[in-house]
Amino acid sequence: MGRAGIRYEDVSEAAETLLSRGLNPTIQRVRELLGTGSNTTISDHLKRWQQTLADSPHAILPPAIPEAVAAALESFWRVAVQQAEAAFVEQRLAAEQAVAAAEQARTAALEKEQQAIAEAEAQRQARECAEHAARELQADVLRERERRAAAEAAIAAAEQRAEAAAAEQAQVREEAAARLTQLDALLHQLRRDHERQRTEAEQRLVAEQARGEANETRLMRLLDQLRTEHAAERQVFTADRQDWRQRETALQTQLTAHQRETHEALRAQAIAEDRQQALRTELERARTAQQASEERYRQAVHEQETLRAAFDTVQQQCQALQNRLEALEKQKDIDKSAAPAAEPR
């Protein structure tokens, strides 16, 4: 049942107009010509119109149709009913053969009166077979007409699918081209970023290595200097201690021998103790300086390890960028190989 507003007459008129233009009256073309109507309603009216056209294919042709269009339409109908005509000819030949056999049987019955009853029965049976064959032939013709209408509907549906496939193919091509453009731009950007990051990482690595080597050299020189100074101060302290011991021995000897020189000896001893205290203070300062130097050396080693860890991180990032770049190049190759496969053969 057609929807209100779209009549069978409108659809048949639109179909005849398209046919007069040399176009196949598909559902989409009829809908575009009418400007309204659902595909289901138009399809129902088109099937009815095609059935009517199958019953009288030449009744709808206008009198002024061009010969080229008429020839094309005639060729189209011949292709559409080719199988039906072949089946009809085959059934007709079979019916003619059956009629001929019946005629031969009836002639033999007239010639042989003694077999009149048997031959009459044979003729009746042959006539019934012929009538049955004729009825089957008519049924076959009707079925062929139905198949022809179904074939026309299938042709219309195939044209719609072809148009939809062409539109979808164009859209896929556009999307593939846009995606390839985006991938190219992203690939170039990733390459530039990778080169820039790698250059910056290499520059930072060289600078950090140079600074680490310079710090290490400076710390080693300072440590050697402190060790040399400490050794010299220890030698001085040892020499002073030996000298103090010698003086203490002399003072003890002088104290035993000379009580009068006690005050000078005590003063000399106080001076020696002051000097010893000063030497101890200097030694403590040297130890503190040495510890500070060792702490700075450990900090320098820690900074060097930190720089090495940062360099390893930069190398990992570079490797990750390289992997990502290779993955993008592989994806681009896949998209390029997949894009031609969508084109029609």
Q: Which tens digit of pLDDT belongs to each residue from 194-217?
A: 789 889 878 988 888 888 788 888
The residue written with tokens 């094309």 in the block is: 72
C-alpha span between 308 and 295 (Å, rounded): 20
Q: Which tens digit of pLDDT belongs to each residue from 104-161?
A: 877 876 787 777 687 768 888 988 888 888 888 888 888 888 988 887 888 888 788 8
Instruction: Give the 3-state secondary structure percentages of the chain, helix then strand then coil, rounded to 5.
Output: 90, 0, 10
User: Which carries the bigger pLDDT value, residue 55 or residue 203?
Assistant: 203
Query: Average of pLDDT values for 42-66?
Result: 72
C-alpha span between 30 and 52 (Å, rounded): 17
List the chain domain ranges. Answer: 8-178
C-alpha span between 10 and 141 (Å, rounded): 29
Dihedral of alpha carbons 328, 333, 334, 336, sign: positive
Residue ranges of alpha helices (H) inside 56-115 are: 67-80, 82-111
Contacts of 139-143 with CB under 8 Å at 24 or more apart are 140/87, 140/88, 140/91, 141/84, 141/88
Q: In the chain, at which residue ranges do the beta strands (DSSP E only) sit? A: none
Angle between helices 116-257 and 39-55 (to 10 degrees): 150
Give the three-class secondary structure for 174.
helix
* Region of poorest pLDDT, from 193-207, 249-263, 288-302: 249-263
- Looking at residue 36, what DSSP letter applies? -
Give the three-class secondary structure for 322.
helix
Q: Are 275 and 293 in contact (CB under 8 A)?
A: no
pLDDT value, residue 45: 92
- The pTM for the full model equals 0.22
pLDDT cut 70: percent of the chain above it: 81
Query: Phi first, then psi: what are they for 239, rounded to 5°?
Result: -65, -40
Dihedral of alpha carbons 249, 252, 256, 261, sign: positive
Q: Are 104 and 176 in contact (CB under 8 A)?
A: no
Could you tell me which of 57, 51, 6 has the C-alpha nearest to residue 33? 6
Dig out the tokens for 199 from the structure: 């250059």
Round the CA-based radius of gyration of the chain to a whole number and report it: 58
Query: Average of pLDDT values for 220-230?
Result: 82
- Other residues' Cβ atoms within 10 Å of the Cβ of residue 15: 24
Query: Average of pLDDT values for 307-325?
Result: 86
C-alpha span between 291 and 186 (Å, rounded): 55
What b/e readout covers 153-172, taking b as 16+ CB neighbours within 10 angstroms?
Answer: beebeeeeeeeeeeeeeeee
